[in-house]
Structure 1
Amino acid sequence: MSEAAARIAALEARIAKLERINLSLMGRVERSTDLQGNAFSAFETAIALEGKVRERTADLERALDDLAASNAALAHARDAADEARRRLGDAIEALDEGFAIFDADDRLVLCNQTYLSLWPEIADRIVPGMRFDEIAGAIGEGQRTLNALVAPDRWVSERVGQHRLADGGHVISLADGRWIQVNEQRTSDGGVVGVYTDITDIKAEDARQRALELAQRAVVLQGTLDAMPQGVSVFAPDRSLVAWNDPLLSLLDLPKVHARQSIADHAALVEWCKVNLPRADAADTLGWIGTADGGTVEEVVAVRRLANGRSIEIRRLAMPDGGMVMCFDDVTERLRTADALEQRVAARTRELQAEVREREAAEGAMRAAKTTAEQANLSKTRFLAAASHDLLQPLNAARLFVSALSTRRMAEGNRKIVAQTASALDSIEGLLEALLEISKLDAGAITPELADIAIGDLFETLYTEFALVAAERGLSLTVLPTQLWVRSDRRLLRRVLQNLLSNAVRYTDHGGIIMSARQAGRSVFVSVADTGRGIDAAHHEEIFEEFRRLDNGTSQGMGLGLAIVQRASRMLDHPIRLASAPGEGATFSIEVPVVAGGVARPALSAAPRGIGVSNVLVLDNEEAILAGMRAMLGGWGVKVKTASTLAQACAQVRRARQAPDVILADYHLGEGALGDEAVAALRRTIGVEVPAVIITADRMPDLKERLTAAGLHVLQKPVKPAQLRALLASVG
């Protein structure tokens, strides 16, 4: 009920109430007059009643005015609502789309004629208040849509579900060929508003575009097929011919005008091939293949040689839709080329096999020669190592005797002879040491012990060693100071620089020698430069060979120094460089990895000049060595006891009243006896850890380390008197 209607009802109820009051008052007046008969009283009562009636009448008039105003407002509102409804109806009818509104109970409230025209058979039955499921049911019964033609009940169920969901658009295909797009949305009061748009023209345009695209694709596909050198035929799932190309016509000798009639389907193609491609019409070559249970079939390839000598390659491939593609290719020339290539490959293979056999034979000969050379080298090395003791023993004895003679008084001529003998012994010793060192380098008997080395300390030692020799030849030796440190083997690096300095002194007649070190990147180049005769570039390689001298033997060199330098540098992986030319001197450089500065070694204290021992026990199995030791040590004022066996030495110790100050023992005492074991036995006999020196011709680093670790001093043969004197002074 509207507000105006409620107000009218209230006014009408008020008027009825006032009328009832008026009637009641009039009755009372009439009854009072009849009962009392008092006219004045009646007059007063009438006056009073008249006033009340006037008031009530005024109230009634005001209520009637209000009622009239309300009725007028209500009539105006109704007119406005009717006008709005008409405008809404006109607007809905003016829409090109179908329009329908359903309330919260899914009943039709309003629709336009366009909506009704969608369903002309049931348009007269669609009225406001009709439920949507009833409308959908009537559409389904009339089979107005394509889906309703197939399954009406299912379509009605799906359509009602879509309407209730009302979350967007969907498309309905009508039985008369039209397409309707439906857009449905929920209203604020729970109803549904739907807009039905005819999209038949859009669908038709899409279909035309799709047909155009398919036509264009067909043109492209046909062009692609025609551009292929192989003959191609495409069959539909029903085995009818769908597409082919011009090479197929040429390959099968098909008439271009009636090609489709000649091979309309797969069976016709097979029959045609029986005549035009004899020997290629077998079932395993042209038979139909297809997919099985939705799976895929691999491509089938067959090559058939025809009666006329041609070779045809036929490929069959099943398509996902159940059709098949067949490709025909004339591979006659390809096979001929392949056969020719195969023959060439076979011939080349035979040639290569022959070359391989020859190469294997040559490599076998090379391996045999290498093995022979290695065996010879090892034999040489083993011989030199084994013979070193026997070679150095007499040399050691001779040096001892010469040293003893040099301390005695003799004529000047005899003294010169002794000096010449000492020089000859030095040459022999240098030659033996070089030969032994080369043999050890070749045999791999020397293992580099890498450590951080201060170049400055090494330079200082080498300067002390060569300064006097250079001065005697009238040469200046300059060593540039350096703070650089390198990573190398101290003994091998020192040996390399010794040989380079020795060569520089030997082959420089005037001027001087400079030894320096400079850093370049991550390397240090240690160089020895001289002002000597220089070396022609043609001889830069050969001077590193054994016994190679370029002065035709006029110098005192043996031709082994640079051979040792090259072997040691290769072992250390320190490249050697040479810069020299005749008359311009020579500069030898060795490249060594640089490292950060380390800890400098403490300086060695100078050995005392005097000998701090007076009683020495010498143990050696060579009588010449014992005699030489007695002569040399006796010349130094030392009391010497000698023994050739451990038993004699123990007897000497027992007879003596005091223990010897130092024991000098040869390492190889004969018959398997070793010097360090003999020293241990003598110490047990004496009962005191007497200082001991082991003298050996074995220059292996591990032996020296083992003897030093056992608390023994080590001297190499041949013994240099100055070294022995300094050692006795340090242990005495």
Structure 2
Amino acid sequence: MTHSLINPADTPERQRQKLLQIVEVLMRRVEQETDDGGRAYQQFQRAALLEDEVRERTRELERALDLLNATNARLAAATAEAEAARQNLASAIETVQEGFALFDARDRLVMCNSRFGMHMTDIRERLVPGLAFAGFVQLVSRSRFLALPAGEDAESWAIGRMRRHADRHVMFNVQLADDRWVQVSEHRTLDGGTVILQTDVTDIIRLERQERGKLLDDQARMIRATLDHISQGVGIFDAEARLVGWNRRLGILLAVPAGRFRLGASFDTLSEALGARFTPNDGMTLDDIVSWVQGPRPRPALTFELRVGSEVVLAVLAEEMPDGGFVMSFSDITAERQALRAIAEANETLERRVAGRTAELAEALGRAEQANAARVRFVAAASHDLLQPLSAAKLFVASLADAGLAPEAQATIAKAENALVSVEGILDALLDISKLESGRAAVDVGPVPVDRILTQLADEFAPLAAVKGLRLSVRPCAASVESDPTYLRRILQNLIGNAIRYTERGRILVGARPAGANLRIEVIDTGPGIPEAEQANVFREFHRLNARASASEGMGLGLAIVERAAALLGHPLALRSTPGRGTRFTITLPRAAQHNPVGGALPDIGDDGALRPDGRIVCLVENDPDMRRALCHLLEKWRLEVIDVGSGEEALSLLDEIGILPDRFLIDQDLGSGIDGLALVGRLRDRYGAVPSRLLTAIRSTALEAACASAGIRILHKPVDAAALAGFVLGNE
């Protein structure tokens, strides 16, 4: 360990003296001792080096001393400046007209001006630096110059003041003695201290109070004027139920002399007037009113009515005011009550008239329903009666097809056949409209293969489109939908037929596309389009847009049937059209979960006689002579033996007599009296087993179709289609 001969704590002068003394001692020892081995020279050399170090250290000490002196000078200057700034700050805050105080982050008073704690001379001398904020609050709360609010003592005021001190910014007014007021504004500084400003706002508050008094006086005059001009009578009572305000209308309504109303009068004055002249209504008594006035607070609003005989009715509303008083308003509702009685009497009269008119309307509705039912029955009956001769006419015309007639006659027969087909279409449409309007149309919804219907319609309409030079495109679709196959086919048939009828050139596109869980079938044409104003009208019966008035063109029932059938099935129908660019009809159907093929195509009629077996016997049961002759004529032309009878009983008797079982049975459903066609087929099956048979009928009845389906009997609707008839009588069934 190295030991220093110089104590660093010594002053530079003391260190210098020690070094000189050391040098002197060393020199003396060098002079006194003999230097045999040269040690004296070494000691001398060491002393010289030590003297150099002493000189260097002395210079460093002198520089440090100079630096310390300069630092002390600057510190003294800074202290003087700080003291000057403090004096300037004190002078500045002393010139502030408000009381000013600064507390540090520890809530100790740093400084304040002479106006701080104004008007509290009893605590002014104790407001010195270092005073804690809580101590300051305690001094203020116990000052004799502080006017404590009602219901507060010094301790509770101090607690509230400290609670406000917890906020970063707060401003409030403090009332002092002699009706003086000081506004206290308290704010936090960045270092966590607190600045407090105290402003004397006595003059401002007194002025506001004066202005408020004037305003209240003005408001009182306005309220008085308002009360005197309103239609209600108003009485205002204080917390002791003494009258403090009223209007002239109150005396008029209560018929109380003006002298009875005086300031400070008891509520008894009003209750006596009420008891002497009025009778409370709605179960209310005068004692109940008095009990409400004298009852515990807060009091709920009270409403009741007062009556004078059967003429005058007053509505009374009593409500409590914030100061514990209450207001009673009286409204004359005599006119309203009379109006209500008049309205009640008018309502009774009106109800009697409405009941009478309702009965008349019900009777008229019954007659209308009867007339509508009669119309429906008439349409059905007329259509049935028309279908019988129409079927016979079609069969007679069909029998002339291969009669070797002249070309002119053949053309005439073709026109006659087309006319009969048009009439048949019109009758079918009338029957459909009749059933859809009457609500008798029943549907059998189930899985329907879309492709089977579209393929049949493509085969049906392709020749018609080709005749007009149109291109009919029907895209295949393997999906199935939930619908009624008959009505769905009829809807698409009418839409495609309309498209071909109104399109002069271009094409018709029929296809289906998926739409989530649904399938949209669209019929698109390049026809003239439908103006927007006419798009709602095209679904009306007998409405035809830009078409010739010709029966062969239809009677405008197709789209009416489409709309009603789609509504019956719950299939949304949409129309979009642009004049000059074509029309798009879209029907949306729910997709079926499974694919169940239905039905089958009827065999075509051959031209080479291969399906015309000679000797085949057909039993025809038809009670209409013309229909029977037409069918016999056509069947015999196909080289079939025909047994024709007019009733079921006659058919059974004849079969027993001849002992021959025919190969085919054609049986009319409506045979007049006796058994009908369905029952006759049942008897034939009981006798001879499953005989090939068809039921002929012009009736389009869901009940009949269901009964035939249940019995396994197929129907040939009248007018009978020659191709379908040939498929049965000439086929291999």
**What's the TM-score once normalised by structure 2's chain length?**
0.55
Match of 1:14 in 2: 11
- In the other structure, the counterpart of 1:500 is none
- The residue number in structure 1 matching 2:700 is 700
C-alpha separation between the residues in 2 aligned to 1:665 and 1:304?
A: 91
Instruction: Write the deviation string for residues 194-240 of structure 1: whole angstroms up to 9, x where unpaired.
Output: 33322333333443454455445434433432331111122222323
Alignment partners' CA distance in 2, 1:630 and 1:64: 153
CA distance change for structure 1 residues 164 and 118 in 2, over 3 Å: closer, same or farther?
Answer: farther
Instruction: Assess, with a 3 A threshold, how the Cα gap between structure 1 residues 263 and 328 changes in structure 2: closer, same or farther.
Output: farther
Instruction: Write the letter of the residue equivalent to 1:529.
Output: R
Give SS of 1:142's match.
coil
Is the counterpart of residue 230 in structure 1 residue 232 in structure 2?
Answer: yes
- Which of the residues 585, 591, 595 maps onto 1:595? 585
Range 169-178 or range 180-189, more displaced: 180-189
Give SS of 1:314's match: strand
2:104 corresponds to 1:114: no
- Cα distance in 2 for residues equivalent to 1:271 and 1:200: 49
Counterpart residue number, 1:554:
none
Q: Which residue of 2 aligns with 1:619?
A: 619
Q: Is the 8 A contact 1:104 1:192 kept in 2?
A: yes
Q: Give the secondary structure class of the aligned counterpart of 1:113.
A: coil
User: Distance in 1 between the 2:428 and 2:162 partners?
Assistant: 110
Which residue of structure 1 lines up, in the alignment, with residue 89 of structure 2? 88
Query: Who is 1:520 aligned against?
Result: 530
* Matched residue SS, 1:269: helix
Q: What CA distance in whole angstroms lies between the structure 1 residues aligned with 2:110 and 2:168? A: 17
Residues in 2 aligned to 1:203 and 1:618: alpha-carbon distance in whole angstroms = 123
Larger deviation: 310-319 or 161-170?
Answer: 161-170
Q: 1:299 aligns with which of 287, 302, 309?
A: 302
- How far did residue 94 of structure 1 move? 1.7
Closer, same or farther in 2 for the Cα pair 1:231/1:14, shift >3 Å? same
Contact 1:698 1:716 survives alignment (8 Å): yes
In structure 1, the partner of 2:286 is 283
In the TM superposition, residue 145 of structure 1 has moved relative to its aligned partner by: 1.7
| 8 A Cα contact 1:93 1:112, kept in partner | yes
Match of 1:120, SS state, is: coil
Q: Deviations over 1:40-80 (max 9, x none)?
A: xxxxxxxxxxx99xx9xx99999999999888777766655
Q: Secondary structure at the match of 2:177?
A: coil
CA distance in 1, matches of 2:371, 2:189: 106
Aligned to 1:240: 242
Q: Are 1:346 and 2:353 matched, yes or no?
A: no
Aligned partners of 1:630, 1:272: CA distance in 2, in Å? 110
**Alpha-carbon distance between aligned partners in 2 of 1:490 and 1:695, rounded to the nearest angstrom:** 26
- Please report how far the alpha carbon of residue 566 of structure 1 lies from its aligned counterpart in structure 2 after TM superposition: 9.6
Cα deviation digits, residues 475-532 of structure 1 (max 9, x gap)? xxxx8979799998479979x99xxxxxxxxxxxxxxxxxxx964244493776369x
The 3 A distance-change label for structure 1 pair 230 and 133 is: closer
1:118-129 to structure 2, matched below 5 A, reads 118-129=119-130
In structure 2, the residue matched to 1:4 is: none
Asked if the contact 1:102/1:191 (under 8 Å) is kept, the reply is yes
SS in 2 for 1:224: helix
Within 5 A, what are the aligned runs for 1:255-294?
261=262, 264-271=265-272, 277=277, 283=286, 287=290, 289=292
Deviation at 1:113, TM superposition (A): 1.7
Bigger mean CA offset, 180-189 vs 602-611: 602-611
What is the alpha-carbon distance in structure 2 between the residues aligned to residue 196 and residue 720 of structure 1?
A: 114
User: C-alpha separation between the residues in 2 aligned to 1:636 and 1:64?
Assistant: 151
**Preserved CA contact (<8 Å) 1:101 1:109:** yes
- For 1:81 and 1:718, locate their aligned partners in 2 and report how far apart those are by CA, in whole Å: 126
Alignment equivalent of 2:156, drawn from 150, 154, 173: 154
Q: 1:605: how far off?
A: 6.6
Q: Secondary structure at the match of 2:231?
A: coil
Between the aligned partners of 2:350 and 2:68, the Cα distance in structure 1 is: 129
> Distance in 2 between the 1:379 and 1:351 partners?
39
Does the 8 A contact of 2:315 with 2:331 survive in 1?
A: yes
Query: Unaligned 5+ residue runs, structure 2?
Result: 1-6, 30-50, 404-418, 446-452, 475-486, 499-526, 565-582, 589-599
CA RMSD between the two structures:
6.8
The alpha-carbon deviation at position 614 of structure 1 amounts to 0.3
Shift in CA distance, 463/710, structure 1 to aligned 2, threshold 3 Å: farther
- Assess if the C-alpha contact under 8 Å between 1:456 and 1:483 holds in 2: no
The Cα of 1:138 is off from its aligned counterpart by 3.6
Closer, same or farther: CA 724–488 of 1 in aligned 2, 3 Å: closer
Are the counterparts in 2 of residues 291 and 322 from structure 1 also a CA contact under 8 Å?
A: no
Deviations 1:612-663 (A, max 9, x none): 22021223568999999888766765556789767986998989xxxx8x52
The one-letter amino acid paired with 1:608 is: D
Matched letter for residue 323 of structure 1: G
The one-letter amino acid of 2:202's match is T
1:356, 1:176 → 2: CA distance?
Answer: 80
Write the letter of the residue equivalent to 1:520.
I
Task: Kindly indicate whether the alpha-carbon contact (under 8 Å) linking 1:641 and 1:652 is maintained by their aligned counterparts in 2.
Answer: no
Q: In structure 1, what residue type is equivalent to 2:235?
A: S
Match of 1:175 in 2: 177
Distance change (3 Å), C-alpha of 1:287 and 1:436:
same
- 1:235–1:243 Cα contact (<8 Å) kept: yes
Q: Hey, what does 2:548 align to over in structure 1?
A: 529
Aligned residues of 1:226 and 1:247 also touching (Cα < 8 A): yes
Matched letter for residue 88 of structure 2: R
Specify whether residues 171 and 728 from structure 1 end up closer, same or farther in structure 2 by C-alpha distance, changes over 3 A only.
Answer: same
CA contact (8 A) 1:454 1:483 kept: no
Structure 1 residues 248 and 639, CA, compared in 2 at 3 Å: closer, same or farther?
Answer: closer
2:328 to 295, 305, 326: 326
- After TM superposition, the structure 1 = structure 2 runs for residues 440-459 of structure 1, keeping only pairs within 5 Å, are 447=441
What do the CA deviations read for 1:657-711 (whole angstroms, capped 9, x no partner)?
xxx8x5244256975675655787899689xxxxx56252454365679879999
In 2, the alpha carbon distance for the partners of 1:722 and 1:126 equals 126
What is the CA distance between 1:303 and its match in structure 2? 1.9
Contact 2:238 2:326 in 1 (8 A): yes
* Contact 1:99–1:193 (8 Å) recurs in 2: yes
The answer to whether the 8 A contact 2:235-2:327 is kept is yes
CA distance in 1, matches of 2:80, 2:465: 130
Q: Unaligned stretches of 5+ in structure 1?
A: 1-9, 33-50, 408-426, 465-478, 498-516, 532-560, 575-592, 687-691
Identity %: 22
Count of equivalent residues:
574
Deviations 1:356-397 (A, max 9, x none): 5654664576577668768978998999999999x99xx989
SS at match of 1:327: strand
Judge conservation of contact 1:440–1:446 (CA < 8 Å) in 2.
no
Alpha-carbon distance in structure 2 between the residues aligned to 1:74 and 1:107: 27
How far did 1:323 drift? Answer: 2.0
- The 8 Å contact of residues 173 and 184 in structure 2, kept in 1 or not, is answered as yes
How many angstroms does 1:294 deviate by? 5.9
Distance of 1:61 and 1:382 partners within structure 2:
140
Contact 1:98 1:195 in 2 (8 A): yes
**1-structure distance, mates of 2:355, 2:141:** 91
Q: Is the 8 A contact 1:618 1:665 kept in 2?
A: yes
Q: 1:653 to 1:231 in 2, by over 3 A?
A: same
Give yes or no for contact 1:100–1:193 (8 Å, CA) kept in 2. Answer: yes
Cα distance between partner residues in 1 of 2:224 and 2:359: 62
CA contact (8 A) 1:620 1:666 kept: yes
The one-letter code of the counterpart of 1:696 is L
> What TM-score, normalized by structure 1, do the two folds share?
0.56
Shift of 1:595: 2.4
Cα distance change of structure 1 residues 434 and 268 upon mapping to structure 2, 3 Å threshold: closer
